Chains A and B, each alone.
Chain A
Amino acid sequence: MADPDLRQPLVARRLPGRRRDARGHPARPRRDRSRRRRAREAGDQLFALLASFAAQKGVPPAAVDAAWVAIKVLIVLHVILINGLWSIWWERKISAHIQSRVGPTYAGSPKGWNFHGWAQTAIDGIKLLLKEDITPAAADKWVHALAPGLVVAPCIVAFAPVLFGDGLAAANLDIGVLYIFAFAGISVIGVVMAGWASGNKYSLLGGLRGAAQIVSYELPRGFSVVPVIMFAGSLDLQTISNAQAGYWHGILPKWFIFYPVVGQLAFVIFLIASVAETNRTPFDIPEAESELVSGFHTEYSGMKWSIFFLAEYAYVLLGSFLLATFFLGGGASPINAAPFTLIPSWMWMLAKAMLMMFVFLWIRWTLPRFRVDQLMDFTWKFLLPWSFVNIAVAGLYLAFWLK
């Protein structure tokens, strides 16, 4: 272990400085030797613009930094909010077509353009805003009111290091993966609080099921990503994305999902565990409409209720972006040819994330619900052991194949 070369990320050692050329981007003069510096360029240009404008007006640099942080926070917050509008509408259309219906059709402008009921979610949002906010008599008032906030706040915080394209992340954290998993796990406290504080036995059962399920599925979710971290040699999402640059024989992208067996197994385990973390249908026993009358959020109405769903869809988006970053090469083009490699990285990232989001919605409207014991057996006796095997095989790859 005394090899000083180990300080370099493993894949970076194999691909010295070829990231941009491999993707067909025009080679730029390198301003700084560090990889992270180059990766930040997209955001840096915007920041330089802001800083030069502020310098002209005589604004102190500390204020510029604070404003820059505020801008990044607002952008990420709006990604989450607009994602709520978009993905709920999309889910309604997909679920309708899977069930041979047509879904929302009329909502929109009364006379003009009402393309597939595009305004349905916005109008539903207005309806939810106007609904009465009910706190049950048996509820624990404070805990009941705080629970939706505690579900959604960690989710927003967890979006900080999420990569929206090369160099497009609100925060460039060295512990990115750990940070996201840590904060995404806090939301379960809100679910448990909501279940308990409602003063309703069904809700309590829903909250307890939610705690057991999310704590259980966090383990395979975390361990399934360990091979990815081992291959990339870092917890930083940008480094993980960069490690997947290049093509085998000039054709097959070097994405982690294409690493034989390990990549596919990790992808499937991570996808299943991500669906389970969002409490969506094959794993929706905490809500289970037919047995628990929607479980932990039975006693919520109006905006408090909709905040639970804002958080649910934000976690779907988070899972989609993580799948795209960990396994689908981040912002890299799947085809090593001119028109595709010229498309900006954020478009590829968004396209991959939306593809994964479609998979999330597709799973929800296709599979029936697990029973509680099946759910627990599945994670502890199937997903977790196989994710351990996966880590061991990934170690063999590192020792013999990826040297």
Chain B
Amino acid sequence: MLEQIVFWSLSALVLLSALGVVLQRNAVHSSLFLGLTLAGVAGIYGSLGADFLFGAQVMVYVSGIAVLVMFVVMLLGRASDLHLRQVNERWTAALLVCAVAAVGLLKVARLHSATSVAGAARPSTREIGRLFLGEWLVPFELISLVLLAALLGAVFFTRTEKA
């Protein structure tokens, strides 16, 4: 019962703040709602008992990615950007794309809907570490390599050549 209340209120928070991201006229407000959405997703991870994922989501997305998005919006945004309508005449097409994506996600989620989750948080850090460095070592290292390449690429492209 309590778990249901927590789950549905967190889901409502995520969806409403996600709507806020796309409907707010002020880009800074949108970025703040983005932070709230990501925090709500972290809350859902926490309520499903994935404690490490909860911590990692808060650390990386809420206090990392969301802050950088705000930083960029505030640093690069012109005053006129802050009061634009976020919806133009193509909104029906966008809605269709969203619907298709949502149906696709729902189909994928249905496949795994039989997987039961532990309600209460239980220590998962040790198991995750062992899987990363054991069974899933190759994918883990491949992802590390991709991220390193992205990092170096970002540094390379933003470098200004000085004479």
11 more contacts with CB within 8 A, not counting A175-B55, A178-B59, A192-B74, are: A1-B130, A174-B125, A175-B54, A181-B59, A182-B59, A185-B62, A189-B62, A189-B66, A192-B71, A211-B67, A215-B71
Query: Does B125 contact A211, Cβ atoms closer than 8 Å?
Result: no
Known: A175-B55, A181-B59, A204-B74. A188 touches B67 (CB 8 A): yes
A9 to chain B, nearest CB (A): 9
- Point out the residue from B29, B56, B125 that lies within 8 Å of A143, measured CB to CB: B29
Known: A189-B35, A215-B64. A178 touches B126 (CB 8 A): no
Return chain B residues, CB-CB under 8 Å to A186. 39, 58, 62-63
Query: Does B67 contact A182, Cβ atoms closer than 8 Å?
Result: no
Return chain A residues, CB-CB under 8 Å to B133. 1
Q: List 22 A-B contacts (CB under 8 A).
A: A1-B133, A2-B134, A140-B28, A174-B51, A174-B123, A175-B51, A175-B52, A178-B59, A178-B125, A182-B62, A185-B63, A186-B39, A186-B63, A189-B66, A189-B67, A192-B74, A193-B32, A196-B70, A207-B74, A211-B68, A215-B64, A218-B64
Query: Does B55 contact A178, Cβ atoms closer than 8 Å?
Result: yes
Return chain B residues, CB-CB under 8 Å to A211. 67-68, 70-71
Closest 5 CB pairs of A and B: A185-B63, A174-B123, A178-B55, A182-B59, A182-B58
A133 to chain B, nearest CB (A): 22
Name which of B32, B55, B125 has the most chain A CB atoms within 10 A of its CB.
B55
Question: Complex Cα distance A185/B70, Å?
Answer: 14
Question: Complex Cα distance A182/B39, Å?
Answer: 11
A98 to chain B, nearest CB (A): 33
Query: Does B75 contact A208, Cβ atoms closer than 8 Å?
Result: yes
Interface size on B, residues (CB 8 A): 30
B28 to chain A, nearest CB (A): 6
Question: Complex Cα distance A215/B51, Å?
Answer: 23
Question: Complex Cα distance A175/B42, Å?
Answer: 14
Question: Complex Cα distance A185/B42, Å?
Answer: 14
Q: Report if A391 contacts B (CB, 8 A).
A: no
Question: Complex Cα distance A189/B63, Å?
Answer: 7
Query: Does B125 contact A182, Cβ atoms closer than 8 Å?
Result: no
Query: Does A212 contact B55, Cβ atoms closer than 8 Å?
Result: no
Return chain A residues, CB-CB under 8 Å to B32. 143, 189, 193
Question: Complex Cα distance A190/B68, Å?
Answer: 13
Query: Does B74 contact A185, Cβ atoms closer than 8 Å?
Result: no
Q: Report if A139 contacts B (CB, 8 A).
A: no
B residues whose Cβ falls under 8 Å from a Cβ of A: 26, 28-29, 32, 35, 39, 51-52, 54-56, 58-59, 62-64, 66-68, 70-71, 74-75, 122-123, 125-126, 130, 133-134
Q: Report if A381 contacts B (CB, 8 A).
A: no
A226 to chain B, nearest CB (A): 12
Contacting residues of chain A (182-224) with chain B, CB-CB under 8 angstroms: 182-183, 185-186, 188-189, 192-193, 195-196, 204, 207-208, 211-212, 214-215, 218
A184 to chain B, nearest CB (A): 8
Known: A192-B67, A192-B71. A235 touches B125 (CB 8 A): yes
Which secondary structure dominates chain A's binding surface? Answer: helix
Which secondary structure dominates chain B's binding surface? Answer: helix
Question: Complex Cα distance A214/B28, Å?
Answer: 19
Query: Does A185 contact B59, Cβ atoms closer than 8 Å?
Result: yes
A224 to chain B, nearest CB (A): 15
Question: Complex Cα distance A195/B75, Å?
Answer: 12
B137 to chain A, nearest CB (A): 9
Name which of A175, A195, A207 has the most chain B CB atoms within 10 A of its CB.
A175
Return chain B residues, CB-CB under 8 Å to A28. none
Known: A1-B133, A196-B28. A178 touches B67 (CB 8 A): no
Residue of B nearest to A211 (CB): B71
Question: Complex Cα distance A214/B63, Å?
Answer: 10
- Point out the residue from A2, A143, A175, A215 that lies within 8 Å of B67, measured CB to CB: A215
Q: Report if A68 contacts B (CB, 8 A).
A: no
Query: Does B71 contact A182, Cβ atoms closer than 8 Å?
Result: no
Question: Complex Cα distance A212/B71, Å?
Answer: 8
Query: Does B125 contact A175, Cβ atoms closer than 8 Å?
Result: yes
Contacting residues of chain A (1-16) with chain B, CB-CB under 8 angstroms: 1-2, 6-7
Return chain A residues, CB-CB under 8 Å to B130. 1, 6
Query: Does A1 contact B134, Cβ atoms closer than 8 Å?
Result: yes
Question: Complex Cα distance A231/B56, Å?
Answer: 21
Return chain B residues, CB-CB under 8 Å to A305. none
Query: Does A208 contact B58, Cβ atoms closer than 8 Å?
Result: no
B30 to chain A, nearest CB (A): 12
Question: Complex Cα distance A143/B36, Å?
Answer: 13
Residue of A nearest to B58 (CB): A182
